[in-house]
Each structure stands twice: as C-alpha cells, then as structure tokens.
A and B are shown apart, each in its own frame.
Chain A
C-alpha cells in the first residue's frame, strides 16, 4: 500500500503552487476544448499528461481505470484519468460543472455508447475484465454495473413493473413468486417498501421526487449489480429526500461498490470514503475524503472545497 502510494504520489505539487491561480474562468463554461493550454499552466508541465495527486488505487478493487480518455468529437473531455473503485466503498467524484465527472462514470458502464460522437480510450476493467473492448457484452456489463441518474426517471409503468423490469429482462426470476421476492427485497432495501407496499400497481411517475429516485435505486439493485454508479442522484431533490438517499447509500455501501457524482461537498463528505476532484477533464486529486476536505494537496482542490469557485 505504502509503496503504491509512493508510486502515485505526484511530485509537481511545489511547482503547481508556485504559479499563480488559474485565470478567472466561468467554471461552468461548457466548451472545454476552448481552454488554451496556457490558461492552466499549473496543471502539469506537459498538459497532456497530468499526474493525479494522491492514491488512485484501492484495496480489493472492483473497477480499475487506467489512462482513460473521452473525446466528444474533437473535444478532449476527459484526459488521462486513473482511478480505482474498491469493494464496499463509496467514491465521491466532485468538481465544477463540465469537469468530466459524469463523463467518467458513464464510461464505467459504457453509457457513452449512446452518444454518437463520444469515443472512449484507455484501460477500464471490471474484476480484471475489459469494459471498453469491442467484445465486451454491454448488456452483461450493465447488469453488473448499475446506474442511477441525475433526474429520477421511472418508466411510465406501475411501481411493481418498474422494479420488475430489470429482473424480467435478464430472466432473473423463474416464476412469479421469485419475482415478487426480488421486487419486495429491492424496495425494502431502497427504503421504499413501507411507503408503497399498498400501491404497487400505481404508476411510478405518481410518486414524489425523492420516492421516485429511491424507486430508481430499487430498480437498479433489483438486477443485483456489483457496482452502482450514481450521477448526482440528489440534485433534483429537497433536503429531506436527500437525507433519505444518503442514508440509503450508506447502507448500500455494505454490499456494493459505489461511485457517486455530486455537486454538494457536504454530501461527498457525508457518504464517501474516498473523494476524487476533477477539473477541466483532468483528475486533479484523489484521497481519503476527510483528507481532501480538511487538507487538500492541490491549490485547485483547496479553492474548490473552500468554495472559492465552482
């Protein structure tokens, strides 16, 4: 562990802090490719090959990512990212809008396939099996790496059918009783059972926002994945619903590896064990969550977590 840490510790910290902070930019500027290289000189001497500060590896990794790059057309949206996600661990991905964190987790179950112009390169592995290869079965991969989206997106079906959808697709239940059991268990673990047990046949879209998002989580865990990716799951929810989801994430972490993208630093601090900070398509810093929030190594991370921008 120590060796690995050393190996990935990056040595350009001094250099980075020596140069002035980046030219003021709107953090949510949508066009990343428009950034002239001189605008971020402190990132690395060679802007193409930035070395992340902190330990990108995890003990008992489920997902390992090395040198991941994503291009949207000519736009190099994600640059040379290395990161592991360990078993029973929550990794929070933070950073200003458009920094590539959602792009990154969408690589992990090949959701970027649905975007025509997106191109992903690098070595992405799930339990040592290549994710990004042409031979990889995307259906199988997505059954193993589930995803919860920013906006609750229940299907226009009943609550029961929403949860049963995945198991039905994959043939996980051989009869109705088994399916009932899966639906029941998933709803229970998503903390939704008590609220909906009497109206399983009502439309899923009729639930409140927070309930919908928990329904989506139930839907995801009904397929029994190994990894759950969450793309800002609480950004559309009120504080009470957010708290419930955060509790849920805590519990789910006992069984799954979770990568969660969030805009809320408090949320990252509350739910995650490790935190990764992205900036303009680069992974700046990864470390234990309390380290990132109390004693960040990189100037940009510090600026972000102290609320100077973003």
Chain B
C-alpha cells in the first residue's frame, strides 16, 4: 500500500492514544453518572406521582366508608303514623316520620324549649333518618305502637365534626356547625349515643343533595348497564372485524383505508365520540337522553378500535401452521377460522376486551355530551331509564362545596379505581395464564 509509512507512524502513536483516552475518562464518567441520575430521578418522579395521587385520594376518602350514627329511642306512635289502624301502606307512607325523629332527639335534651334551639337541635339528625323509619315501618307494620332503640344517621356536619374535619378553634361564624350544636354532640358522645358504622347507604343509594344520603348505587348500576351494552356490542363486532381483516380481507386500497382509519379512530379524543352520540343517537335516532343504552352505544364505538387492534394482534400470533394443518385435512377457510384460529386467539382477544372495558368504565367526557350528567336520585332499573355513571358522579360531586362531598368524591374514586384494578389485574392474569409461545 502506498501510505505504508503513514500507517506505521499512526500505530507508533499508540501510547499517545492511550494517554489521550485516559485524560478524558474522568469527565466522561461524570457525564455518565449525571445522565444516569437524570434517568433515575425521572423514574422516581413518576413513582412519586403515583404515590402522591393515591395518598391524596385515599387520605381524603377513606372516612366516607363510615357514617356517624346516633342511637335514639324512637316511639312509633300509632296516633301519628296510622291513627285509624288501617294498615294501609298509602297512609303509613305519607305519615310524618321526621316528627318521630324530632321527638326522640327532643327527649334527649328536654331543656331546649325555644323554637330556634329546637330547630338547631333537629339539624343534628340527617333528613334520611325519617326515610329510614318510613321504610322500616312499611316493611314491618308491627312496629307501630312499639318503642325501639335504633341507630340513625347523623347530619353530614356532625359526621364531619366526629371525623375531625371541622376545626373547633375556628370562630363560630366561619363554620357550619354552631357552638351549641357541638356541645350537644359532645353530650351525645359522653352518653355513648354516637358511633361510626360502616356506610352501606353509600353503596346502595342514588345521588342526593344531602351528602349523608348520597350514594354511588345509582352510578354503579348505570355504569354496569353501560358496560353490558358495550361489551355485548363491541366484543362480537370487534372480533368479527379483526377476523375479517386478518383472515379474509384482500390486500387492496380499501382495506388499507380501513386499517389506517381504525388506528386513527383509536386516537380520536373521546369527547368527539360524545358529539357523535349526541348528533346521531339522540338527535337523529331520537333515543332518550341520559340513558345507559346511549352511553353504551357511544362507548362501543369508542372501544371498538381498541378491541379490533388487540384481537388482530391475537389472531396474528396464531401460527400459520395451525391454519395449514386445518386446511390440509379439508376444512373450509371459515371452519379453520372458527374451529381453530378464534379459540386459540380467544385469551388475547378477551384480554384486549377487558382492557377496553376498563377504559370505557373510566370514561366520562362523552357521557357529559349525551346528558348522563343529570341529577338523578332514583337507582335505574333498566338501561333505558335516566342514569349517571360512576366517573360522571365523581365529576358532579367534585363540584359540590360541602366537605362531606369531598370525602364522598374521594371514596367514589377509590371504588372506581378498585374496579379498574380488578379488571386490569384480570387482564394481566389472563395474559400470563394463557400466554402461549409458539
């Protein structure tokens, strides 16, 4: 080679090379450590956010699972409930049960006689106490005329006081519970008439303006109906579409467009699906507003791309040899797909479907568009009755100023997250359990 001398000179620099490398090393390792540090910090930051989010929600919400109850001796006065002893549910139902509660509270503090004092005393009890008595009496009319010792829900301000959310040192004017009421509550505590009990109403009841009567029962039922509609429509449709695209579709422009379209649809903002639902399902087809059926339809369209994509991946992972084997023994293409490919891809498709459902369960923006944001007290009985959904209920409560609603919002979030955790856990478990390496 012509540059032989040059080459020797080059290699003669060898010790020099080593020296030069060595000189730079310390700085390079510093940079290396710094870079690694950035990575570690970012990761920790991410973990910290998770922790912060959960701590902030759980610490705000865990108390909502308990409700302060007051022990009262209720006199089921026949004179008041059913004076003529008819036993007619209509008459019993329209009786003034609040008065029973008021009387029982008044008996505890006979010294309070003036109207203002009485009214303020009555406010210690929830408006729901009367409802509870009414339900009890309707269920068991034999109670009329008896005297029972019962635990009845306290007002949300009392509840907040007991749970320690109200600072007694704040001047009376700037808190919603008065000094006198605090004294009464303390007297009740001293008398062991106040207790925190597990809050079953929270899971049973629908929405209410009174925090202690507001529950997520209606919202859960609404979400349940919606998910049923969604899974019943989106899973078969998604699997069918995926089967067609993977197994039968010719390779042409139309299918390319379909594919690009599905991928894009998966990234379209959810609120746009809400606009679609409003314009098409409600305005065009005239379906009822606020109905879980419409919500389910909107969520179906929203989750369909996710399920199609997951199902296609699952079908793709079934090796061609399985198809060839089936075709080889004379099965038609359709039989091959239905007898072999789909059963083998089923775990993957179900995993995708569960993840899609989890997304649908947490979705709220499109539901606002189709009117599922209404204030609905009744727990819906069918998918056509007006209803709300769990995430929308959270959104509604988040706007309420009462401290007791902050607690309930956080608790509702905890319930929602628990559902999501279970669903995602099931998906992960299924993926692990049925994962097949070919």
The answer to whether A and B touch in the complex, with CB atoms under 8 Å apart, is yes
Q: What is the CB-to-nearest-CB distance from A257 to chain B, in angstroms, rounded to a whole number?
A: 12
Q: Which residue of A lies closest to B7 (CB)?
A: A189
Pairwise interchain contact B7-A255, C-beta atoms closer than 8 A: yes
B146 within 8 A of A: no
- Interface size grouping (class) on chain A: 10 to 19
Minimum CB–CB distance from B199 to chain A (whole Å) comes to 50
A98 interface contact, C-beta 8 A: no
Which of B20-28, B73-81, B295-303 binds A? Answer: B20-28
**Cross-chain contact B1 with A171 (CB below 8 angstroms):** no
Residue B13 lies at the interface, judged by CB distance under 8 Å to chain A: yes
Query: Separation in Å of the A88 CB from the closest CB of chain B?
Result: 10
The answer to whether A139 and B10 touch (CB under 8 A), given A170-B20, A251-B1, is no
CB distance from A219 to the nearest CB of B (A): 15
- Quick check: is A18 within 8 A (CB to CB) of the other chain? no
Closest-CB distance, B35 to chain A (whole angstroms): 14
A238, CB-defined interface residue at 8 Å: no
**Is the CB–CB distance between A185 and B6 below 8 Å?**
yes
A139–B1 Cα gap in the complex (Å)?
A: 32
Q: Which residues 120-153 in A have Cβ within 8 Å of B in the complex?
A: 137, 139-140, 143-144
| Chain B interface, >50% SS class | helix
Measured CA separation A226–B21 after assembly (Å):
14
Interfacial chain A residues near B13, Cβ < 8 Å: 224
- Would you call B7 and A224 a contact (CB within 8 A)? no
Given contacts A170-B20, A171-B20, contact A224 B14 (CB under 8 A): yes
Question: Which A residues lie within 8 Å of B11 (CB)?
Answer: 224, 255-256
The answer to whether the Cβ of A273 comes within 8 Å of any Cβ in the partner chain is no
Q: Is A188 an interface residue (CB 8 A)?
A: yes
Contact A171 B14 (CB under 8 A): no
Asked if A140 and B14 make an inter-chain contact with CB atoms under 8 angstroms apart, the answer reads no
Interface contacts (Cβ under 8 Å), in number, total: 47
Give the docked Cα–Cα distance between A81 and B31 (Å).
37
Asked if A203 is an interface residue, CB under 8 A from chain B, the answer is no
CB atoms of B20 and A185 under 8 A apart: no
Which residues of chain B have C-beta atoms less than 8 A from A137's C-beta? 25
Which partner residue on chain A sits nearest B14 by CB separation?
A: A224
CB-CB under 8 A from A44, the residues of chain B are none
A139 touches B28 (CB 8 A): yes
Task: Find out whether the CB atom of A170 lies under 8 angstroms from the CB atom of B10.
Answer: no
Contacts of A223 in B (CB 8 A): 17
Contact B10 A185 (CB under 8 A): yes
Query: A79-97 vs B: 1/0 string, CB under 8 Å?
Result: 0000000000000000000
**B3 within 8 A of partner (CB):** yes
- The smallest beta-carbon distance between B18 and chain A, in angstroms, is 7
The docked-state distance in angstroms from the alpha carbon of A256 to that of B20 is: 19
Contact partners of B3 in chain A: CB under 8 A? 185, 188-189
| A172 interfacial by beta-carbon distance below 8 Å | yes
The smallest C-beta distance from A144 to any residue of chain B, in angstroms, reads 7
Q: Do B6 and A224 touch (CB < 8 A)?
A: no
* Known contacts A172-B20, A224-B14, A140 near B7 by CB under 8 Å: no
Q: Which residues of A contact B23 (CB under 8 A)?
A: 171
Please report the C-alpha to C-alpha distance between residue A239 and residue B151 in the assembled complex, in whole angstroms.
Answer: 93
A254-B87 Cα distance, complex, nearest whole Å: 114
Interface residues in B1-58 by Cβ distance below 8 A to A read 1, 3, 6-8, 10-11, 13-14, 17-18, 20-25, 28-29
Inter-chain contacts of B24 with A (CB < 8 A): 170-171
Nearest to B23 among chain A residues (CB) is: A171
> Quick one: which of A213-253 are within 8 Å of B by CB?
223-224, 226, 251
User: Which of chain A's residues has its CB closest to B11's CB?
Assistant: A255
Cα–Cα, bound, A224→B9 (Å): 12
With A189-B7, A224-B13, A226-B14 as contacts: A140 and B21 at CB distance below 8 Å: yes
Nearest Cβ in chain B — how far from A244, in angstroms?
A: 13
| A255 cross-chain contacts in B, Cβ below 8 A | 7-8, 11
B27 → A minimal CB distance (Å): 9
Contact of B21 among A172, A185, A251 (CB under 8 A): A172
User: Which residues on B sit within 8 Å (CB–CB) of A171?
Assistant: 20-21, 23-24
Known contacts A224-B14, A226-B14, A251-B1; A143/B21 CB under 8 A = yes
List, in ascending order, chain A residues with CB within 8 A of B29's CB: 139
CB pair A172–B17 under 8 Å, yes or no, is yes
Q: For the complex, what is the distance from the CA of A37 to the CA of B73, rounded to whole Å? A: 87
Query: How far apart sit A144 and B17, CA to CA, in the bound complex (Å)?
Result: 9
Report Cα–Cα, A143/B17, bound state, in Å.
Answer: 9
Could you tell me the distance between the alpha carbons of A224 and B12 in the complex, rounded to whole angstroms? 10
* 23 pairs, CB–CB < 8 Å, chain A vs chain B: A137-B25, A139-B28, A140-B21, A143-B17, A143-B21, A170-B17, A170-B21, A171-B21, A171-B23, A171-B24, A172-B21, A185-B6, A185-B7, A189-B1, A189-B3, A189-B7, A223-B17, A224-B13, A224-B14, A224-B17, A251-B1, A254-B7, A255-B8
Q: A172-B17, A189-B10, A224-B14 provided; 14 other pairs, C-beta below 8 A?
A: A139-B21, A140-B18, A140-B25, A171-B21, A172-B20, A172-B21, A185-B3, A185-B7, A185-B10, A189-B1, A189-B3, A223-B17, A224-B10, A255-B8
User: Which 5 A-B pairs have CB atoms at the shortest separation, nearest pair first?
Assistant: A171-B24, A170-B21, A224-B17, A255-B11, A143-B21
